[in-house]
Amino acid sequence: MDFKQLVTQIRRPFSLIAMAFVLIPPAVNAQTAPLPIGPVPNARQIEWYHREIIAFFHFGMNTFANVNEGDGTANPQLFNPTALNCNQWTSVLKGAGITTAIFVAKHADGFCNWPTAHTNYSVKNSPWKDGKGDVVREFTDACKAAEIKAAIYLGPHDRHDSRYGTPDYSDYYANQLSELLRNYGPIWEIWWDGAGADQITSVFYDRWADTVRKLQPNCVVFGTKNSYRYADCRWIGNESGLSGDPCWSTINPVSIRDEAAYITQLNHGEVDGTAYIPAEADVSIRPSWFYHKEEDAHVKSVAALWDLYFNSVGHNSVLLLNFPPDKRGLIPAIDSVRADSLHRLINGTFKNNLAAGATIKSLHPRGGNYKAASMGDNSESTYYATTDNAFTDTITFNLGKKKTFDVLMLQEVIELGQRTTGWSVDYSSDGKNWTPIPEATEKQAIGYKWLVKFKPVTASKVRLRITSGKACVAIHAFGIYKEQMATPD
């Protein structure tokens, strides 16, 4: 099974609510669709959620100065990768099943990984390729060749440029932003780091966001602090890749603007938040963001990455996983092997939904095209919904025989807003005596995807209880699985 098939099976996205019913004649689809509740995602956010895992590439002057936070004084002569190959980077991502990557074009040290016309502090004054190289170009070309979506981190903070924080710096940054958005093809996400950028006011971002929307209207904006008004996704509140439980897609924008005082809200979201700005959970596969040889023995284990997957993607977020290229300009082999093994673990576990084919009954079915069977029918365009006045429900899956499982997955119809606020899962062998799964008891958020792993249980029946909500239930998918590593292809 290739990655595209796997994605279809375990997340089964659909781009518009209308897909669920436009193909069904009114005479057959007698029931109208549920109405959205609260803030809902835009098209960029829906596509962003479907990425699930995004790669981060921190590579630049800091790599060669062997630091994580350069002060902007390192000599461009230090930058000289001996075997830079961005096609190797994208090959690693293909093996890991990752379809989007963000490259750090300029970090806070101010060194530019492309031959910008607006500063001499760039690759054009390095010995690499006699000053004629362009890492951004090689990155975007490699992404295009590998059918990976290319994205850019352009650090607002700049320790090298003396104009930082002034109107002149706003011009400088706007010019560089325009270079990147005009000359390198589609840019899928722009990453506006808030670290150290307190002198960048909302007035600066007003201008820069206008540039993004004019030049790359489909570009996702990772926004923080003073760029909060333009955020399609938010910081998770840590750099450990850990989303909260619950983790709501909604939040009050002031919590992003004043992040130091609202770390809990960033991590958990806010159930009654006024804006739909889901969380992106960033973390490095190594202890540091930039490569250091001494960390070769400290690459995260497959088990640690598996936990990260459940605590990010499995907590209604997107995992942003950093792969720092070394001084050669290559992703080290150990990082590649761990990422590939994570992909095989995801593939092996989620390829077989043990609830597929189950007989499903619910207390408050909406009818029409919104049948309970839609939760396990592997369709991209159908979902289950209750009647408008039923904010709770009990949905029972008769598996037909006893099955052993240790993972469950639940997805809401995100296009309709975040609706469910309480749920639990139980299992039984006779349909009369029910045992709760402790890790899946009295949960709150669902959203795009919620995953739970637990000690293996054996049962012939499974029960999903929706105990509270803001509106009628709208569940896209439910699945139970047995954790297992897929064999290499």
Residue 37 lies inside a defined structural domain of this protein: no
Q: What pLDDT is recorded for position 24?
A: 36
pLDDT in tens, 326-344: 999 999 999 999 999 999 9
d(CA 28, CA 351): 32
- pLDDT beneath 50: ranges in the chain: 1-29
Q: What pLDDT is recorded for position 31?
A: 79
- 467 and 414 together in one domain: yes
CATH number at 457 reads 2.60.120.260
Q: What pLDDT is recorded for position 377?
A: 76
Q: Containing domain of residue 81, as a range?
A: 43-350
d(CA 290, CA 44): 29
- 102 and 228 together in one domain: yes
Q: What pLDDT is recorded for position 349?
A: 97
Q: What pLDDT is recorded for position 33?
A: 94
- 340 and 217 together in one domain: yes
pLDDT in tens, 120-171: 999 999 999 999 999 999 999 999 999 999 999 999 999 999 999 999 999 9
CATH number at 327 reads 3.20.20.80
Mean pLDDT, all residues of the chain? 93
d(CA 407, CA 393): 22
Q: Percentage of the chain with pLDDT > 70?
A: 93
- 277 and 408 together in one domain: no
Both structure tokens of 79: 């930058």
pTM over 0.85, yes/no: yes
Quickly list DSSP for 402-463.
EEEEEEEEEEE-GGG---EEEEEEEEESSSSS-EE-GGGSSB---TT-EEEEEEEEEEEEEE
Residue 224 lies inside a defined structural domain of this protein: yes
